[in-house]
């Protein structure tokens, strides 16, 4: 009985503890419990899909083929695990690289838990050493490869590489290469597990450090610029400002009521942008901000104003409204 408990503990607990440490050390806590739970479920589903595909391929290539564990399985498994992180990044639901790392690692954790539970039931007589390697090595590797995939995809998406193939293929091939290297067993399994446990925390620490540096820079510049612009509108100093000059030019292209809606839309956008950045600054300081009941009404009003000003009016506001991935993400974060 004690042996079975130890087997289960070594097979399942390490990857969960690693995930918990990633969430704990994230200063801004932007990945919610709901997202983590959904990502775990997605990882479990990806494990089921990979199992079905792998079984069919395994029968086709034969038991003796060295291609399956070294090349085919990594391709299939990394593809299945990559679906959710890539969709989330493409839909601009991931703000920063550290969020991508946590999201990807969570999917990999769900995958690894299912895989190790499957092997626990299939190999009841395996030694404790097997579960040490699978828990501290293979399981953490699954989380790490998907986390690295998500970080690379997020970084390329943020730097303007919007072509799906150009964005996702380098990330996917990197994850497959790491997985394939692990499955080649060029080192003894225990040494491979130690290699994973040494290198992955270093990689994640570098991701966290860079992500937090970028976040602080974006928050500092963006908050000051948005707050200054919002204060100008609220104080009534628009007429003598660059906004006033620009709005006077817009009067030649739009009806007066549309110009008023443009200014209202800009004010709402800036209020929400400043509020979102303020929440992040509060979280970094350790304060949890309760939901604002008025946020939803502001989004409804923004939707109405969007229809009023139209696509042409929205494009006319682009000198003042930032439409980068983080600016779009911050509004989604604030709403949800």
Q: Residue 247: what pLDDT?
A: 67
CA distance to 4, 238, 265, 271, per residue, from 230 (Å): 62, 10, 12, 7
pLDDT in tens, the chain (336 residues): 788 889 999 999 999 999 999 999 888 888 889 999 999 999 999 999 999 999 999 888 876 678 889 999 999 999 999 999 999 999 888 988 999 999 999 999 999 999 999 999 998 889 889 999 999 999 999 999 999 999 999 999 888 766 777 778 999 999 999 999 999 989 998 999 999 999 999 999 999 998 888 887 777 667 777 777 777 777 766 666 666 677 677 777 788 888 888 888 888 888 888 888 888 888 877 777 787 888 888 888 988 988 888 888 888 887 777 666 777 788 888 776
Query: Three-class SS of residue 243?
Result: helix
Rounded CA gap, 208 and 98, in Å? 6
Gyration radius of the chain's alpha carbons: 24
Query: What are the structural domain ranges in the chain?
Result: 2-213, 236-335
Contacts of 231 (CB under 8 A, 6+ apart): none
Helix 97-122 vs helix 33-61: angle between axes, to the nearest 10 degrees? 50
Rounded CA gap, 283 and 321, in Å? 24
Q: Residue 27: what pLDDT?
A: 80
Rounded CA gap, 248 and 119, in Å? 70
Rounded CA gap, 150 and 156, in Å? 10
Q: Residue 58: what pLDDT?
A: 86
Q: Residue 132: what pLDDT?
A: 92
Q: Residue 66: what pLDDT?
A: 80
Contacts of 107 (CB under 8 A, 6+ apart): 39, 40, 42, 43, 46, 81, 84, 85, 146
């Amino acid at each position: 009985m004690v042996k079975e408990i130890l087997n289960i503990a070594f097979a399942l607990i390490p990857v969960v503890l690693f995930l918990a440490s990633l969430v704990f050390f994230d200063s801004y806590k932007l990945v919610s419990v709901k997202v983590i739970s959904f990502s775990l479920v997605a990882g479990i589903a990806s494990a089921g899909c990979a199992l079905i595909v792998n079984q069919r391929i395994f029968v086709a290539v034969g038991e003796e083929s060295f291609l399956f564990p070294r090349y085919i399985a990594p391709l299939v498994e990394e593809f299945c695990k990559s679906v959710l992180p890539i969709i989330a990044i493409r839909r601009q639901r991931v703000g920063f690289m550290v969020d991508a790392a946590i999201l990807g690692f969570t999917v990999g954790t769900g995958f690894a838990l299912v895989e190790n539970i499957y092997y626990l039931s299939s190999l009841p007589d395996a030694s404790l050493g097997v579960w040490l390697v699978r828990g501290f090595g293979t399981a953490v590797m699954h989380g790490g490869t998907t986390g690295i995939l998500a970080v690379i995809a997020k970084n390329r998406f943020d730097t303007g590489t919007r072509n799906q193939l150009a964005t996702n293929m380098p990330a996917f091939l990197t994850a497959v290469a790491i997985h394939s290297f692990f499955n080649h067993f060029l080192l003894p399994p225990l040494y491979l597990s130690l290699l994973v446990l040494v290198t992955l925390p270093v990689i994640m620490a570098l991701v966290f450090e860079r992500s937090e540096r970028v976040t602080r820079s974006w928050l500092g510049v963006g908050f000051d610029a948005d707050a200054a612009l919002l204060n100008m509108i609220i104080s009534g100093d628009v007429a003598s400002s660059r906004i006033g000059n620009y709005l006077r030019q817009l009067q030649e292209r739009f009806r007066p009521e549309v110009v008023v809606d443009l200014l209202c839309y800009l004010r709402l956008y800036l209020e929400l942008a400043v509020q979102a950045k303020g929440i992040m600054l509060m979280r970094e300081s350790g304060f949890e901000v309760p939901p604002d009941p008025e946020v939803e009404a502001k989004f409804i009003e923004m939707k109405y104003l969007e229809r009023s000003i139209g696509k042409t009016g929205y494009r006319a506001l682009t000198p003042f409204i930032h439409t980068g991935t983080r600016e779009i993400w911050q509004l989604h974060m604030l709403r949800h």
